[in-house]
Structure 1
């Protein structure tokens, strides 16, 4: 650890608990500090350059400081960064998302994936008049009290009791919960490839049965695509041939700026309609024009061909890793390294020139070249392959 990083950390712990704002970025004894990013690479305070496979936890699909995104955001910001009125940018973004998702009817915007899940849960409860949400143990849906694990500290018992946790992939447990709480479940919330649960994709059979059970019990099917939307043009749910009643997005749709979105059936989201609905939901910076404009550029360039190429690169890297004896889950441009000691692995990769997620997540970006991909693969093999252990 450089003296510069240490000095910054000493300052940080005086003004922030543990010297940290984002728990997901902490790696002991403390993480380095970023200075700048350019394309697929990032430089820290000590001058160490790494290939960024964290990409702000999958958000930066076009890497750092993308010139076209910077150009549009500078132009939009020069006209005003936020207003007490809506703008055409949010209309265009909603139209774009409806088209990409093959007809998810209506959309609302917020500032993070956490907020998107909060809004999704409120929409489900308002539409159905029911209180309970079913979620899967180990999945991460943001930091909202009502979406975290029952074991999380600081969650009131009354809030925890409004959510039923069932094991990943256990359709019998879902059916039991819906039957035992017949008429009380507003929605079943699923991440189809949950990062915190080792990035294992759900099976088609499971997802199909889940949709059937939700319909039978008049519960909504809600899909968290905050991370997985990048895997298909219209989101990972399209790979399964389903249309969720509600979907939460974030990260990649913001072009590197804070963003969240909820899409769903028009009747389900009608509670937010100020002309007829009963739910008031603000957000000072929600749908701000800078984020919406940046996101439009990012999505316009994230075409089916580009997505297919990036996914193929990820699949090739994953195959090389597994062939080399490295446990690697995921799909397409998202790879999850399964290691016994993620912190040790993180530091070894960082020193080898690769920035991963603190849980072993690797997210590819469009600026990555063949040389970058080779370097990433070789670094992971050197750190994680059995002979290197």
Structure 2
């Protein structure tokens, strides 16, 4: 079964060169290395090929962005045509209108849209929009949830048992050395799926809170399904206290034709989007209620919230996003759901038949394996012990050796070019991992 046992020499040599120009040899902290990254030559459909000729089924898809896989022909053709007419302008193009119309027609609660360049910017401006609309400055967010590289969104992103504090009132923790303490004071940290805690903490800080930022199924928080009572607690308490609900669907918009909020019964005031809506190019978008989005309105002079960006709504991203989203019809989502179910159900059966101390979470085209027998309810419960974290590294390594690029500690994803055989292959490799590492699994069982 194993095909990719050793990382190639060209990747090793490239990493040696990279260490001379980048602080740690990479340009993103999320680059995985074991002990070196593998450098990519090309991607075709659902597969990656590295510079040493190794082939991988890609379950990362640039962190869930490439829902149609690599080099999706309709996008390639549309971009090739657009490049002949120009790559960016200071004036608008019709493509941005068309993509905004598509998003507004498809995603509930999206009356108006504003385009930016990244998911980080989308969350950044959604928070600023909530502040401008309400006149309040604080936000609430989920412990362990990722909302991009924005100070307020990064609070308690990497909380640990050593610093996350009281289970009924989580502590605001800094993500990096030097994060201003004033930022920590302006963020109320909530626990996912803690309905009682949400009602209490949002009510307690109501007069100061502009918004609660909520990823309906936080990837970094465990890719755990939200409980209906938790969604209701957020929705009702926010509404009762004039707090806006920001649904961060930068990653989870791929959960259904209408997104994740619609899937779980959340009715946000603002929605942040990115990843799949750019067709493989950089993009971010803020959508929401017409009255809230009016803070961006500059038709009568300086708006309550000025927002610009040299490459915002550039025609390349608009073109790629429009084509990609048009191809994400109901049939495409049904295909993704079917494959996701095969993978999750197959992994769950492999775990059960071997009584392995593992579980799988996720929905639609997303899944994540956890080194624990009981399905976690939130970030704290999903936080792995040392032995579990080591096991997950071994899982990622085993998958790579068998020709699958599986993300470490993040959501794995299905793309539309994948077939039933690919889903079954994923399950077979996972079962092979369990059989190969039985002694390590037994050791985890003994300590739980």
Matched, 1:43 2:49: yes
Quote the RMSD (CA, aligned, Å).
1.5
Q: Is the 8 A contact 1:59 1:256 kept in 2?
A: yes
1:182, distance to aligned residue in structure 2 (A): 3.0
Matched, 1:9 2:15: yes
- Residue in structure 2 matched with residue 175 of structure 1 by the alignment: 199
Matched, 1:338 2:344: no
Work out the number of aligned pairs and report it. Answer: 389
1:176, distance to aligned residue in structure 2 (A): 2.4
Separation in 2, partners of 1:220, 1:347: 42
Q: Is the 8 A contact 2:75 2:279 kept in 1?
A: yes
DSSP 3-state at the match of 1:165 = strand
DSSP 3-state at the match of 1:176 = helix
Alpha-carbon displacement from aligned partner over 1:139-161 (angstroms, at most 9, x marks no partner): 11111111102331142111222
Matched, 1:306 2:332: yes
Matched, 1:285 2:311: yes
Task: Give structure 1 stretches of 5+ with no counterpart.
Answer: none
Separation in 2, partners of 1:287, 1:107: 11
1:360, distance to aligned residue in structure 2 (A): 4.9
Q: After the TM superposition, which of the residue ranges 13-22 and 27-36 deviates more from structure 2?
A: 27-36
Matched, 1:359 2:409: yes
Alpha-carbon displacement from aligned partner over 1:273-325 (angstroms, at most 9, x marks no partner): 11242211111111111111111111111111210221121011100101100
Separation in 2, partners of 1:198, 1:110: 27
DSSP 3-state at the match of 1:15 = coil
Separation in 2, partners of 1:205, 1:171: 6
Q: Is the 8 A contact 1:382 1:388 kept in 2?
A: no
Q: After the TM superposition, which of the residue ranges 377-386 and 146-155 deviates more from structure 2?
A: 377-386
Q: Which one has a bigger Cα radius of gyration?
A: 2
1:384, distance to aligned residue in structure 2 (A): 4.1
Matches within 5 A, 1:1-389: 1-148=7-154, 149=156, 150-154=173-177, 155-276=179-300, 277-325=303-351, 326-339=358-371, 340=388, 341=390, 342-384=392-434, 387=438, 389=440
1:222, distance to aligned residue in structure 2 (A): 0.9
Task: Give structure 2 stretches of 5+ with no counterpart.
Answer: 1-6, 157-172, 352-357, 372-387, 441-448
1:103, distance to aligned residue in structure 2 (A): 4.8
TM-score, normalisation: structure 1: 0.96
Separation in 2, partners of 1:178, 1:332: 30
Q: After the TM superposition, which of the residue ranges 208-217 and 148-157 deviates more from structure 2?
A: 148-157
TM-score, normalisation: structure 2: 0.84
1:344, distance to aligned residue in structure 2 (A): 2.5
1:269, distance to aligned residue in structure 2 (A): 1.2
